[in-house]
């Protein structure tokens, strides 16, 4: 057993439907959908980095990956 289990997805997750939904949410503009998703990913990475600093090293026991650097 590994220290970090593989993330599981719901059995009903449909990548094509999710992509279509993201494009539809941006008025059918695929470029705008990609831009919105990149902004969302950047926000979530920043939030994860902030939370990572608040978790004690003893609690995490080295299981947390190092924060990514923006380049």
Is residue 62 a part of any domain in this protein?
Answer: no
| Domain assignment of residue 36, given as a range | 16-53
Exposed e or buried b per residue across 28-59, where buried means at least 16 C-beta atoms within 10 angstroms of its C-beta: eeeeebeeeeeeeeeeeeeeeeeeeeeeeeee
Residue 11, pLDDT score: 59
In the predicted model, what is the mean pLDDT of the chain?
81
Is residue 71 a part of any domain in this protein?
Answer: no
Residue 1, pLDDT score: 47
Give residue-wise pLDDT tens across range 17-37. 999 999 999 999 999 999 999
Residue 69, pLDDT score: 59
Is residue 34 a part of any domain in this protein?
Answer: yes
Q: Domain count for the chain, please give it.
A: 1
Is residue 25 a part of any domain in this protein?
Answer: yes
pTM above 0.75, yes or no: no
Is residue 6 a part of any domain in this protein?
Answer: no
């Amino acid at each position: 057993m590994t220290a970090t289990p593989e993330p599981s997805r719901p059995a009903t997750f449909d990548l094509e439907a999710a992509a279509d939904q993201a494009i539809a949410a941006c008025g059918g503009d695929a470029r705008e959908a990609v831009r919105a998703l990149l902004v969302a990913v950047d926000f979530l990475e920043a939030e994860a980095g902030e939370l990572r600093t608040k978790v004690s090293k003893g609690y995490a026991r080295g299981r947390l990956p190092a924060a990514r650097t923006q380049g």
